[in-house]
């Protein structure tokens, strides 16, 4: 069965510091991979996505993610965090063979210290 | 870009009443929409897949008679929580895919509805 694991429930970083949010997935083949961000009480905004090709994906707001097949990982990174990046981040997988539904990880809450 | 509007953003209802939540694709047609439920501090759990002109497909464990889904047009799907109880209190979010429904587009999410049943 497909699953997504985000090992870090809560991460705190200082403003200006680099960030890496971890995501591991379980799937028999290469799934479609997504990172979403959610501000409190809001819907989800797509940061970036991966389907095939270049394993380093650039997204919005200065985020990037790297797909590593050998590690079944799709970690999200940002070189310098801004206070406005404080939010909940979700990794999600979608199987190419199904109707397009997404399976989400548990989420990682990012807190940014001034 | 693709926009999904969800209404209402917040609703409080009495136990035993029904509540309808609307999900609209504003600038594109969506043959498929998805309804998720999110408990506080938890992830999103898919409840059902809404297909225009046909019956919704519910995930295992979701009561189809309690969570009625109607997708009568290419731009509107509704979720009705019938005979709501306090345990139905949650954050409900819909999503839809822009354009041809190609899942590679990544799905656009509504802003969510906070339902509180008292």
The mean per-residue pLDDT over the stretch B6-11 comes to 96
Rounded Cα distance between A22 and A8, Å, is 7
Alpha helix locations (H) across A4-114? Answer: none
Interface of A with B (CB under 8 A): 32, 34, 36, 41-46, 49, 51, 90, 94, 96, 99-107
The mean per-residue pLDDT over the stretch B20-48 comes to 90
Contact state of A42 with B111 under an 8 Å Cβ cutoff: yes
The mean per-residue pLDDT over the stretch B88-96 comes to 94
The mean per-residue pLDDT over the stretch B97-118 comes to 76
Q: Scanning every residue of chain A, which has its alpha carbon at the shortest distance from the alpha carbon of B91? A: A41
Establish if B109 touches chain A: CB-CB under 8 angstroms: yes
CA distances in angstroms from B14 to A8, A32, B7, listed in the order given: 37, 41, 18
Rounded Cα distance between B115 and A66, Å, is 37
Query: Are B26 and B53 contacting, i.e. CB atoms less than 8 angstroms apart?
Result: no
pLDDT of residue B106: 65
Say if residue A49's pLDDT is above 50.
Answer: yes
* pLDDT tens sequence across A64-84: 999 999 999 999 999 999 999
Q: What are phi and psi of B78, to 5 degrees?
A: -125, 145
Rounded Cα distance between A19 and A85, Å, is 10
Looking at beta carbons, which residues of chain A come within 8 Å of B57?
99
Say if residue A102's pLDDT is above 90.
Answer: no
Contact state of B93 with A43 under an 8 Å Cβ cutoff: yes
Q: Which of A34, A105, A107 sits opposite B106 (nearest CB)?
A: A34
Query: A23, A20, A44, A19: which is closest to A33 by C-alpha?
Result: A23
Q: pLDDT exceeding 90 applies to what percent of chain A?
A: 73
CB pairs under 8 A between A and B: 57
């Amino acid at each position: 069965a497909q699953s997504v694991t985000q090992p870090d429930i809560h991460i705190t970083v200082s403003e200006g510091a680099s960030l890496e949010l971890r995501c591991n997935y379980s799937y028999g083949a290469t799934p479609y991979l997504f990172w979403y961000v959610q501000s409190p009480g809001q819907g989800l905004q797509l940061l970036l996505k991966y389907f095939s090709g270049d394993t380093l994906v650039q997204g919005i707001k200065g985020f990037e993610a790297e797909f590593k097949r050998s590690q079944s990982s799709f970690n999200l990174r940002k070189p310098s965090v801004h206070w406005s990046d404080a939010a909940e981040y979700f990794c999600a997988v979608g199987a190419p063979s199904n109707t397009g539904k997404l399976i989400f990880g548990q989420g990682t809450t990012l807190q940014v210290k001034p | 870009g693709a926009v999904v509007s969800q209404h209402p953003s917040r609703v409080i209802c009495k136990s035993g009443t029904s509540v309808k939540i609307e999900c609209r694709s504003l600038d594109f047609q969506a043959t498929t929409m998805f309804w998720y439920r999110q408990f506080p501090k938890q992830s999103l759990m898919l409840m059902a897949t809404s297909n225009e002109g046909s019956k919704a497909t519910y995930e295992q464990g979701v009561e189809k008679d309690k969570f009625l889904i109607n997708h009568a047009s290419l731009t509107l799907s509704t979720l009705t929580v019938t005979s709501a109880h306090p345990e139905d209190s949650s954050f409900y979010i819909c999503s839809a895919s822009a354009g041809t429904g190609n899942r590679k587009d990544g799905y656009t999410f509504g802003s969510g509805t906070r339902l509180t049943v008292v």
